């Protein structure tokens, strides 16, 4: 039985935060470079606050603490996204791909463009796992690890090649990353990624449906189900003629006047 409080509201909350947070980060990172220090400061304060929120929420199993842990994880994630999109924590390589490279050497070069970002994400994931270890509420760490996995899958698929490598979300100073995208094609990897994420969503969904009505377990599983569905949708967008501006055009409206 579908519960309004246990299934529908968590779905609406997760989608709303995903939509507006994604657009807000894109808007901030497409302003001029002069604003980046301010964005990084705000993001850093938000990220640290998110860590404290997760730590506080992890000590309690209640519906409110589940929502707090979820929001805290997204605050930490947003901090990392701002760091990456401003270029502060991208990678040691800040130039386009060498077209003569193939195979492992091309992969190593591409990895160097996002190396710092991936390391900080992995270290943060380990930190959150250690902080919530044996705690009654582990939603914060689970959400962050799930987002990490979904984003890593998207990056690998873009590197291998997808039918639609729309990159409107990338600010001008990261335009060189487009040169590391694979050729536009449908691959077994992309299809398998969508199926795997959908299967994970189905598993979380089954947990949400079997949990006691209105419980913290139901709300947490519903939030994770929604994130998986959004992750699957983002992967489907890689196969369809979808433009980021169709949903977040307002985030790019001032790009031309603020680019340096």
| pLDDT tens digits along 12-54 | 999 999 888 888 887 877 777 788 899 899 999 999 999 999 9
Q: What number is the average pLDDT over the span 120-148?
A: 96
pTM, whole model, 2 decimals?
0.93
| pLDDT, position 94 | 93
Domains held by the chain: number? 1
Size of the chain, expressed as the number of residues it contains:
260
Domain with 102 in it: 4-258
Cα 249 to Cα 77, 84, 97: the distances in Å are 22, 20, 28
| pLDDT, position 165 | 83
Higher confidence at residue 183 or residue 166? 183
| pLDDT tens digits along 176-198 | 999 999 999 999 999 999 999 99
Which of 199, 191, 187 has the alpha carbon at shortest distance from 236?
191
Which of 144, 139, 146 has the alpha carbon at shortest distance from 208?
139
- Predicted confidence band at 147 (pLDDT cuts at 50, 70, 90)? very high
Inter-residue contact 252 to 40 (CB < 8 Å)? no
Q: What number is the average pLDDT over the span 159-165?
A: 92
- Predicted confidence band at 255 (pLDDT cuts at 50, 70, 90)? low
User: Across the chain, what does the average pLDDT equal?
Assistant: 90
| pLDDT, position 114 | 95
| pLDDT, position 245 | 63
Q: How far apart are CA 258 and CA 30, in angstroms?
A: 7
Which of 44, 23, 18 has the alpha carbon at shortest distance from 254?
23
- Predicted confidence band at 2 (pLDDT cuts at 50, 70, 90)? confident
Q: How far apart are CA 34 and CA 3, in angstroms?
A: 47
Backbone angles phi and psi of 187, in degrees to 5: -125, 160
| pLDDT tens digits along 58-100 | 999 999 999 999 999 999 999 999 999 888 888 999 999 999 9
């Amino acid at each position: 039985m579908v519960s309004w409080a246990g299934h529908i509201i968590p779905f609406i909350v997760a989608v709303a935060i995903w939509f507006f947070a994604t657009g807000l980060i894109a808007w901030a990172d497409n302003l001029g470079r002069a604003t980046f220090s301010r964005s990084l400061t705000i993001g850093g304060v938000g990220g640290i606050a998110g860590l404290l929120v997760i730590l506080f929420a992890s000590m309690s199993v209640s519906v409110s603490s589940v929502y707090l842990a979820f929001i805290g994880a997204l605050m930490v994630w947003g901090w990392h996204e701002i760091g990456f999109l401003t270029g502060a924590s991208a990678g040691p390589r800040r130039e386009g791909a060498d077209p003569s490279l193939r195979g492992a050497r091309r992969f190593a070069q591409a990895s160097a463009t996002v190396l710092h970002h991936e390391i900080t994400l992995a270290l943060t994931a380990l930190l959150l796992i250690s902080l919530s270890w044996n705690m009654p509420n582990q939603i914060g760490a689970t959400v962050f690890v799930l987002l990490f996995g979904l984003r890593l899958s998207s990056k690998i698929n873009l590197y291998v090649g997808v039918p639609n490598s729309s990159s409107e979300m990338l600010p001008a100073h990261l335009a060189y990353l487009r040169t590391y995208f694979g050729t536009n094609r449908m691959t077994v990897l992309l299809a398998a990624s969508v199926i795997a994420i959908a299967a994970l969503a189905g598993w979380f969904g089954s947990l949400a449906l079997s949990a006691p009505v209105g419980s913290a377990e139901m709300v947490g599983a519903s939030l994770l189900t929604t994130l998986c569905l959004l992750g699957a949708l983002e992967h489907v967008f890689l196969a369809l003629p979808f433009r980021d501006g169709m949903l977040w055009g307002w985030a790019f409206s001032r790009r031309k006047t603020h680019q340096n």
